[in-house]
């Protein structure tokens, strides 16, 4: 199948400051790809390059089977929603939505039909005659999204469209965007540094660091089998627990050793050679409170803090001078200072070698 968007050996540099390092990605038609990474890692630069707003240093960008590397933005068949969107303050919502189409010289009836379709999709039908100043933040954001959607193209590029909104609105619009994608079936490339948005929206997530993709995989794969320490630490809240130690493989099965802890690794499926220094990573949800009862290797410690969060709670406990977290369902009666011996489910854990890559 032909890719909707194909990025081939792309390099982008500002002078001698390299921002994107030889990157290649193929994005399938109808795919929802999320670019996720810390501030400054090159997400907007990459998206702007796909849109044609940013010159590239080397490589190629293909959209719908055509090399568009040097095409004008308007000829690329994309719609874009920017990180800092600006609506035309003196124009009504209707005019804001139709502006690009009027400039492009589309027939009036076609413009009206598209504005009506887009407004209905984004629940803006009753607001078409208002000006941006007369709208809430979420409504304004929907107009900004609408301005891209009226173009009715196959590929949409979103650059942190929800970052300026409060948490409740963000959650609501996130669900709207997911529905929109399900209904329209376009290809979406969506930039965010919010891991919840990435995990909930994406078919695949590309996790970037310093212009390099660290892992490109489904949300489940990235959550359960992170490719390296950076990905493991970036995804998940509270963050994955890490314990440093070493793996020893005597005659029997391999064992992870650290500070008097000896964890049998026979339940772990290794993908790489494994002796020597290593980091054991396990998520708060992959620990059980009573390790002995579950016949799991235990990590004994003392409760330091309990954070109730409604239906669940996060329990922090100290082990060997380190603070580890454990997620519990329901109400927690434990107090700071109480002794616990949680068990770690090694089949769900991750091991990383000295260079940080997954073992």
Binding site for ligand ATP (CB under 6 A): 14, 17, 19, 37, 39-45, 83, 193
Residue 42's binding partner, choosing from ligand ATP, Mg ion, none, with beta-carbon cut-off 5 to 8 A by kind?
ligand ATP
Q: How far apart are CA 291 and CA 211, in angstroms?
A: 41
**Pick 43 or 204: Cβ nearer ligand ATP:** 43
Nearest residue (CB) to Mg ion, 84 versus 183: 84
Partner in contact with 281, chosen from ligand ATP, Mg ion, none, beta carbon below 5 to 8 Å by kind: none
- Strands 5-14 and 17-27 come out as antiparallel
Binding pattern for the stretch 265-304 against Mg ion, x by CB under 5 A and - elsewhere:
----------------------------------------
Radius of gyration of the chain (CA): 24
Considering beta carbons, is residue 58 or 104 the nearer one to ligand ATP? 58
CA distance 301 to 316: 10
Name residues whose C-beta falls within 8 Å of residue 76's C-beta, 6 or more positions apart in sequence.
50, 51, 52, 63, 68
CB of 36 to Mg ion, least distance (A): 12
Shortest CB 282 distance to Mg ion, Å: 32
CB of 42 to ligand ATP, least distance (A): 4
**Can you say whether the dihedral through the CA atoms of 181, 185, 191, 194 is positive or negative?**
positive
Q: Which stretch in 44-52, 91-99, 165-173, 328-336 sits in contact with Mg ion by CB under 5 A?
A: 44-52
CA pair distance 357, 59, nearest whole angstrom: 27
Q: How far apart are CA 93 and CA 86, in angstroms?
A: 12
Q: What are phi and psi of 214, to 5 degrees?
A: -90, -35
Token pair of 318 as six digits: 């100290």
Smallest distance from ligand ATP to CB 86, Å: 16
Residue 44 binds Mg ion (CB under 5 A): yes
Task: Give the nearer residue to ligand ATP in terms of CB position, either 12 or 314.
Answer: 12
- Whose tokens are 């409060």? That residue is 166
Nearest distance from C-beta of residue 44 to ligand ATP, angstroms: 3
Rank residues 43 and 181 by Cβ distance to ligand ATP and give the closer one.
43
Give the Cβ contact number of residue 168 at 10 Å: 9
The full length of the chain comes to: 359
Binder of residue 69, out of Mg ion, ligand ATP, none (CB less than 5 to 8 A by kind):
none
Q: Of 44 and 139, which has the nearer Cβ to Mg ion?
A: 44
- Within 10 angstroms of residue 244's Cβ, the number of other Cβ atoms is 12
Please report, as ranges, the residues that interact with Mg ion according to CB under 5 A. Answer: 44
């Amino acid at each position: 199948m032909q890719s909707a968007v194909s990025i081939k050996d792309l390099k982008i540099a500002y002078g001698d400051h390299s921002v994107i390092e030889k990157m290649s990605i193929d994005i399938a038609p109808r795919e929802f790809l999320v670019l996720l990474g810390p501030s400054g890692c090159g997400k907007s630069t990459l998206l702007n390059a796909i849109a044609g707003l940013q010159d590239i240093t080397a490589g190629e960008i293909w959209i719908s089977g055509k090399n568009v590397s040097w095409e004008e933005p308007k000829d690329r068949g994309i719609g874009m929603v920017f990180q800092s969107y600006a609506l035309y303050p003196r124009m009504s919502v209707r005019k804001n939505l139709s502006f690009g189409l009027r400039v492009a010289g589309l027939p009036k009836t076609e413009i009206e039909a598209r504005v009506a379709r887009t407004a209905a999709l984004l629940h803006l039908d009753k607001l078409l005659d208002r000006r941006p100043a007369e709208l809430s933040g979420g409504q304004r954001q929907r107009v900004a999204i609408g301005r891209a959607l009226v173009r009715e193209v196959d590929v949409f590029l979103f650059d942190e469209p929800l970052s300026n909104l409060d948490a409740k609105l963000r959650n609501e619009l996130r669900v709207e965007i997911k529905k929109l994608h399900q209904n329209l079936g376009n290809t979406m490339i969506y930039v965010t540094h919010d891991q919840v948005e990435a995990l909930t929206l994406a078919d695949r997530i590309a996790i970037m660091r310093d212009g390099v993709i660290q892992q490109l995989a489904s949300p489940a794969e990235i959550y359960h089998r992170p490719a390296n320490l950076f990905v493991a630490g970036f995804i998940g809240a509270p963050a994955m627990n890490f314990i440093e130690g070493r793996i020893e493989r005597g005659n029997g099965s391999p064992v992870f050793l650290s500070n008097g802890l000896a964890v049998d690794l026979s339940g772990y499926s290794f993908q790489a050679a494994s002796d020597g220094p290593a980091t054991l990573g396990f998520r708060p949800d992959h620990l059980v409170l009573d390790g002995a009862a579950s016949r799991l290797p235990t990590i004994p410690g003392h409760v330091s803090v309990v954070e109730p969060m409604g239906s669940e709670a996060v329990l922090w406990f100290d082990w060997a001078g380190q603070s580890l977290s454990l997620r519990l369902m329901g109400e927690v009666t434990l107090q700071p200072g109480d002794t616990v011996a949680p068990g770690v489910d090694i089949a769900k854990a991750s091991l990383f070698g000295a260079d940080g890559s997954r073992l």
